[in-house]
A and B are shown apart, each in its own frame.
Chain A
């Protein structure tokens, strides 16, 4: 009995680690939606680009440099994406921004096919990061512990940025009352550019970090966008901690489901979303955002 319980706890902790990784992708998606009102269906494409670029960089400069350079490069692409595409759609019918980001996702996926080929690319982590560590009775992959630490640092950074800086005050005000912000003479556009760069940069970091442990292939972006979207919906739009909670919850629920009913593992997050939306249509910690009501 205690063994079983302990093992379940191990699955829970493991689920938290996985949730941390989902968080990297979902948080950016949530931020871009909160500030700009755009569901960025191309978010997964930036994740995929992050993975592919990291492999290119790793060839010359090694894994460590790749994990830093690739997200920065993708953030630069995010700048172009916001300036020349996304910006035109903030006040338009949401259907239009969905279509354009959906289209962009397909264009990027095909571009990846053309440049890198349809076959998955091999990716390995440095040998030093392989293997696992046993803490107490729990087994952790050494690599995933590192991943978790990176996520924690990024998360803390984003929180401080949003809550403790003047940048964050403008962004938070912009989420709730863009008209008031404008009336005070502050242009929201540069803030939006920064948020998009931050969001897609985090997605790219997720791609770069996951490349050594999952398949790097053209459709990887399409795979992750669904999960990220589910996390955002469960967490509630506009809520920083909602997304954090939802990502961890999705990871944990998946782990527990696989423990008892492996075949339902991938379906568990959709069931979770269903239940959460039934009980709390705004999501777990969703705020009431006036401009979307």
Chain B
């Protein structure tokens, strides 16, 4: 700065103002500092990464509640092999930070396994760290197909349903409503790995079933105002608006769609229960897919929901559920192999043991691409006045696939999925 002044630049003696502005800009961009949650003891170390800030931060909040509850349960029951679980949850922030933190957890904190993530782009970088260090990574909540396909590696196991399953589950719901065949569909797509994957799978489904995609707009992940997109939708006059959005985007879109009151039906290939709750009753419509919901009619889900409500005084969302079952799956694997060794755990999972996911049918990791095979659901919105609790306005379908269909029905097949270890 002082050099510039000596040279007599175009804005003489503007040092003070510039300094303030530069520092201010740095400060404004750095807001949203990582939150760190730490556990004590030094038994079996679980390194847990999930977004706690940013557009997926709300979902990450649920994730932390779920995995924390599972750790406390397991530890209260005597731990794993008599050892306590030491769970450390950190904010993964973004793909670069996620990788740095994962590496640090392995090197400095000496974690036995890595778990977590919701953001597909961050999951991808953590997977690379896991592979480089030959350490097991249970990728819990990111749904991009590419993670289980082109980018797959043998050190990573994926718990959540992938994009293809969501699209197929949602697609069946839309077909039943007659919203695909011969229809003109306008799509909004989240501009990152997950959104692109979702758009690709959705477009494939729509075109193979006789629909036409008449528009597909990319939306930046930090977009909060959708009004320019709503004007474009109105101009296009589609038969169906299909959203391939993620996290906070979905809620913002749904609220503003209700605000403008456009007449076209909305469906989405991704919506989490938390996003739906945040939208509020009266704002949400349409058909959406989900991996789990609190009305699943099994003793396991009933017990989990009751325990969660007792502990946190709220109803668990699907990210709380998936983190909870994931840690239980991991604990069982360690107990049965009597080991925290990555190779032994991989060998165990690849035998396709069945795990209780609190659903009607048990799930298992498919051994050739390491993704969990499990039931999915769709949901619609109850009519006003037919529910009493404010958060209870969602109506869930029976499990998909049905009881007499194979669990792998909706998943990508070996010819569709390029994953080879």
Residues of A within 8 A of B (CB): 7, 10-11, 14-15, 17-18, 37, 39, 41, 44, 94-95, 98, 101-102, 105-106, 109-110, 113, 117-125, 127, 130-132, 139, 141, 143-144, 212-219, 221-223, 225-226, 229, 233, 237, 254-255, 258-259, 262-263, 265-267, 281-282, 289, 292-293
Contacts and interface: CB of A to CB of B under 8 A. Distances in A.
Interface residues of B, number: 65
Given A118-B58, A214-B255, A292-B16, A219 B53 contact: yes
A265 B220 contact: yes
A44 B60 CA distance: 22
B27 A266 contact: no
Contacts of A132: 260-262
B280 A263 contact: no
12 contacts: A98-B24, A102-B30, A122-B277, A132-B262, A141-B260, A213-B255, A215-B252, A215-B278, A218-B57, A229-B24, A262-B219, A263-B219
Nearest to B251: A215
Contacts of A106: 31, 33
B342 to A, nearest CB: 32
Contacts of A218: 57
B227 interface: yes
Given A122-B277, A214-B225, 17 more contacts: A7-B231, A7-B235, A14-B227, A106-B31, A119-B61, A119-B277, A121-B278, A130-B258, A141-B227, A141-B256, A214-B224, A215-B248, A215-B251, A265-B219, A265-B223, A265-B228, A281-B14
Nearest to A121: B278
Contacts of B234: 139
Interface string B195-221: 000000000000000000000011110
Contact of B220 (A15, A118, A267, A281): A267
B228 A15 contact: yes
A282 B53 contact: no
Nearest to B218: A263
B232 interface: yes
Contact of A11 (B32, B222, B228, B252): B228
A51 to B, nearest CB: 12
Contacts of A10: 231
B76 interface: no
A143 B259 contact: yes
B35 interface: yes
Interface in B1-23: 10-11, 13-14, 16-17, 19-21, 23
B62 interface: yes
A262 B28 CA distance: 24
Contacts of A39: 20-21, 23-24, 27
A11 B231 contact: yes
Given A124-B283, A237-B17, A263-B218, A119 B259 contact: no
A217 B252 CA distance: 11
B31 A222 contact: yes
A262 B27 contact: no
A122 B232 contact: no
- List the 9 shortest-distance A-B pairs measured between CB atoms, nearest first: A118-B61, A122-B280, A131-B261, A120-B278, A266-B220, A222-B31, A258-B228, A263-B218, A39-B24
A291 to B, nearest CB: 8
B390 A122 contact: yes
B77 interface: no
A98 B58 CA distance: 27
Contact of B58 (A14, A41, A217, A221): A217
Contact of A41 (B27, B279, B283): B27
